[in-house]
Amino acid sequence: MATRIDGKKVAADIKADLAERVERLKAQGVVPGLGTLLVGEDPGSVKYVAGKHADCKEIGVNSVKRELPADASFEDIANAVKELNEDPACNGFIVQLPLPKGIDQNAIIDLIDPAKDADGMHPYNLGELVLHVRGDISTPLPCTPRGVIELLKAYDIDLNGKEVCVLGRGITIGRTIGLMLTRNAVNATVTLCHTGTKDVVDHMRRADVIVAAMGSAGFVTPDKIKEGAVLVDVGVSRVFDEEAGRYRIKGDVDKACYDKASAYTPNPGGVGPMTRAMLLANVVEMAERSL
């Protein structure tokens, strides 16, 4: 029977450890702080940011909130980023995406102090990840890829020398997880597949591990994987459930694959909780580096 990889449990264990580290920091006069910049009132973004601050409260991290209206100008947003860069109560922060139409998101991300980049997605930090293939990294790491690796590690799934097929080339997971998986510390061999990949199913059938991050509901089916593969489902799609009469969130991996796999992450309840836990880990590590 395939192992169900429980992201909620692993994330809870990580947060418990972080809470202890936060207490030790406070004893040394340092209170870690996570900042968020929310522009507009997109329901998904509002909910996401609220979840971040609930996580902070759970482990004793200070919350620093910045909110702007949907019609905020580029200059307004840039000034808010500058304030967070300079705020000593904020060790790290995120700019909640997407930003309103007409705002250059990349230009805003570029304004973040790399040392306060809680998402680990600033070009400087991604560059550090590229350069430091062999040694330790002291810059923030991308949260979702880090969460995937920590999740597999928690279940003693060794990636050393394994063939990993990544489906999707988005910057949040597809392109960045390859950088992390091919580091010496992990040592996997990665094939990055995307819409231009020929014979994508052949790549999938060879893979020991599939990381699905396409946003294509149920794309990974039993006929496309080999026996005993490890399946990591990062995809998110809204699919209308005719029986229930409402939309549901569905991952990229068809549940029929579970019987053929050796291990799998459920969706939801797999990678999602780990992404949130890794954001907290980045902030706590930033505070620890400040000592």
d(C-alpha 60, C-alpha 186), whole Å:
31
- CATH 3.40.50.10860 residue ranges for the chain: 28-116
Q: Can you tell me which residue has the tokens 């990665």? A: 190
Full-model pTM:
0.94
**Catalytic residue positions?**
52, 96, 119
Q: Is there a cis peptide before residue 98, judged by omega within 30 degrees of 0? A: yes
169 is in an annotated binding site: yes
pLDDT per residue, tens digit, the chain (291 aa), is 899 999 999 999 999 999 999 999 999 999 999 999 999 998 889 999 999 999 999 999 999 999 999 999 999 999 999 999 999 999 999 999 999 999 999 999 999 999 999 999 999 999 999 998 888 889 999 999 999 999 999 999 999 999 999 999 999 999 999 999 999 999 999 999 999 999 999 999 999 999 999 999 999 999 999 999 999 999 999 888 888 888 888 999 999 999 999 999 999 999 999 999 999 999 999 999 998
Of 74, 152, 62, nearest in space to 109 by CA:
74
Q: Put residue 29 in one of left, alpha, beta given phi > 0 → left and psi -120 to 50 → alpha.
A: left
127 is in an annotated binding site: no
168 is in an annotated binding site: yes
- CATH 3.40.50.720 residue ranges for the chain: 143-272
Could you tell me the CATH superfamily of domain 143-272?
A: NAD(P)-binding Rossmann-like Domain (3.40.50.720)
Report the CATH fold assignment for 28-116: Rossmann fold (3.40.50)
